[in-house]
């Protein structure tokens, strides 16, 4: 099993908090799509014949492409890797790009999952963040997807937003769970270096929400989503039974994936590759047939730390039986103190972080790393 990730770096405009690679140069979209198809052909050996079961268009804003441009990339993936065993094909969309015609065309190309960046259902906060849509547009977009026959709908929410009172957050959660969405990802607002939001913080024009308040917001979210029937299957991800993201789950369980496009990362079990996050450099290199990615070979220590980091973020946790006996013993010894403080749970050969401690998971996991 393997996955293909396609990075579409175009955005109609930049949100103030964004730390992803994206550009507003949408006039380059047609040339970029051709470059992606060339890259897929160049890298046909990367997955060593593994079956592609998931495809994910992320960004940026993939819905800035036309359905035919997305279809062109899907057709290239089909020709290069085959898609007979595809189980999940996701396209990230901005709510205000969604129309019945757009979603129907995506569905006809085989898209069976839409992931929508909603962030909040509060119009003042949406304006503050620089989002293009309103709360009403987000609600309508979800209903349009469902009517077009795509029932596997995920939305992204944010918490820890300046000015997001408990009532506003509660409203965000209630609106979300009243909608026919099957999956919710929710992230705490971060102040990405060099983002406009980070500059506003330096100039004291924005006061970040303190850690204790963010932790309380995280607890409120977990409680609400659990009571609405959502499984909390990864630190930031919740789903109704059977609707976990297959593509993202494969990142967490070490499944190989090929990432194509500017700034995309790939992983094959032994090394990581990454393309330049520069549209011109990416397209020029691909068009000249030169290798465009850099590679980092992962040491046994890197692979061990990465496995700990990714698996302990999930509700299932780390299965010690998947580690060499010596590593299994040493991680259990390092975990003793954390287990005694109930920061980690150990049962049935699995170490896992209880939901009540998930908010501080990074600091728990890092104490288990090999130096």
Nearer to ligand SF4, 15 or 106 (CB): 15
Strand partners, 7: 58
Any contact of residue 222 with ligand SF4 (CB under 6 A)?
no
Least distance (Å) from ligand SF4 to the CB of residue 154? 15
The yes or no reply on residue 115 touching ligand SF4 (CB under 6 A) is: no
369 within 8 A of 361, measured Cβ to Cβ: no
Using CB under 6 A as the binding rule, whether residue 71 contacts ligand SF4 is answered as no
What order do you get walking across the sheet with 345-347 strand by strand? 318-319, 350-352, 345-347
50-to-76, 96, 228, 285 alpha-carbon distances in Å: 17, 36, 37, 26
Least distance CB 307 / ligand SF4 (angstroms): 29
Residue 271 CB, shortest distance to ligand SF4, in Å, is 27
Q: Please list every residue from 141 through 170 that binds ligand SF4, using CB under 6 A.
A: none
Q: Report in angstroms how near the CB of residue 219 gets to ligand SF4 at its nearest.
A: 25
Nearer to ligand SF4, 60 or 71 (CB): 60
Q: Which residues contact 44 (CB under 8 A, 6 or more apart)?
A: 80, 81
Among 53, 54, 61, 115, binds ligand SF4 (CB under 6 A): 61
For ligand SF4, the closer of residues 231 and 277 by Cβ is 277
| Integer Cα distance of 20 and 26 in angstroms | 16
Q: Which stretch binds ligand SF4 (CB under 6 A): 8-16, 180-188, 302-310, 330-338?
A: 8-16
Query: How far apart are CB 224 and ligand SF4 at their closest, in Å?
Result: 24
Per DSSP, the three-state class of 21 is coil
Residues 6+ apart with CB under 8 A from 95: 116, 117, 118, 133, 137, 138, 140, 141
Q: Where does 131-208 show beta strands of DSSP type E?
A: 153-159, 183-188
By CB under 6 A, which span of 9-17, 169-177, 246-254, 310-318 interacts with ligand SF4?
9-17
How far is residue 306 from each of residues 12, 47, 269, measured CA to CA in Å?
35, 20, 11
Element (H, E) at 333: helix 325-340
Judged by CB under 6 A, the stretch of 10-18, 215-223, 224-232, 290-298 that binds ligand SF4 is 10-18
Range 13-42, binding ligand SF4 (CB under 6 A) = 14-15, 18, 20, 22
Q: How many binding residues for ligand SF4 (CB under 6 A)?
A: 10
Strand partners, 231: 239
Q: With binding defined as CB under 6 A, does residue 59 bind ligand SF4?
A: yes
Residue placing its CB nearer to ligand SF4 in the complex, 133 or 232: 133
Upstream peptide bond of 367 is cis (omega within 30 degrees of 0):
no
**Residues in the site for ligand SF4, rule: CB under 6 A?**
11, 14-15, 18, 20, 22, 59-61, 117
């Amino acid at each position: 099993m393997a996955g293909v990730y396609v990075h579409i770096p175009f955005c109609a405009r930049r949100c103030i908090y964004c730390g992803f690679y994206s550009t507003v140069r949408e006039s380059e979209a047609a040339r970029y799509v051709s470059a992606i198809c060339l890259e897929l052909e160049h890298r046909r050996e990367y997955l060593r014949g593994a079956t592609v079961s998931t495809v994910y268009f992320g960004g940026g804003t993939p819905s800035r492409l036309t359905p035919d441009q997305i279809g062109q990339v899907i057709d290239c993936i089909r020709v290069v890797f085959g898609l007979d065993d595809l189980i999940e094909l996701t396209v990230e969309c901005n709510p205000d790009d969604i129309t019945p015609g757009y979603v129907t065309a995506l569905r006809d190309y085989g898209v069976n999952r839409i992931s929508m960046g909603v962030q909040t259902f509060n119009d003042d906060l949406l304006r503050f963040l620089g989002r293009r849509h309103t709360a009403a547009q987000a609600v309508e977009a979800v209903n349009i997807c469902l009517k077009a026959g795509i029932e596997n709908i995920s939305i992204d929410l944010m918490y820890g937003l300046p000015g997001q009172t408990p009532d506003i957050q509660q409203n965000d959660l209630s609106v979300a769970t009243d909608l026919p969405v099957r999956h919710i990802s929710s992230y705490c607002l971060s102040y990405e270096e060099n983002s406009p939001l980070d500059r506003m913080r330096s100039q004291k024009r924005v006061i970040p929400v303190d850690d204790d308040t963010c932790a309380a917001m995280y607890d409120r979210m977990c409680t609400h989503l659990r009571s609405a029937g959502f499984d909390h299957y990864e630190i930031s991800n919740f789903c109704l039974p059977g609707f976990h993201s297959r593509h993202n789950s494969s990142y967490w369980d070490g499944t190989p994936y090929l990432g194509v496009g500017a700034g995309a990362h790939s992983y094959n079990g032994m090394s990581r590759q990454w393309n330049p996050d520069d549209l011109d450099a990416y397209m020029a290199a691909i068009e000249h047939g030169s290798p465009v990615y850099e590679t980092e070979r992962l040491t046994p220590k890197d692979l061990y730390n990465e496995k700990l980091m990714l698996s302990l973020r999930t509700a299932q946790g780390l299965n010690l039986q998947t580690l060499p006996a010596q590593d299994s013993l040493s991680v259990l010894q390092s975990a003793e103190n954390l287990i005694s403080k109930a920061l980690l749970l150990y049962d049935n050969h699995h170490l896992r972080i209880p939901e009540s401690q998930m908010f501080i998971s990074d600091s728990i996991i890092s104490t288990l790393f090999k130096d």
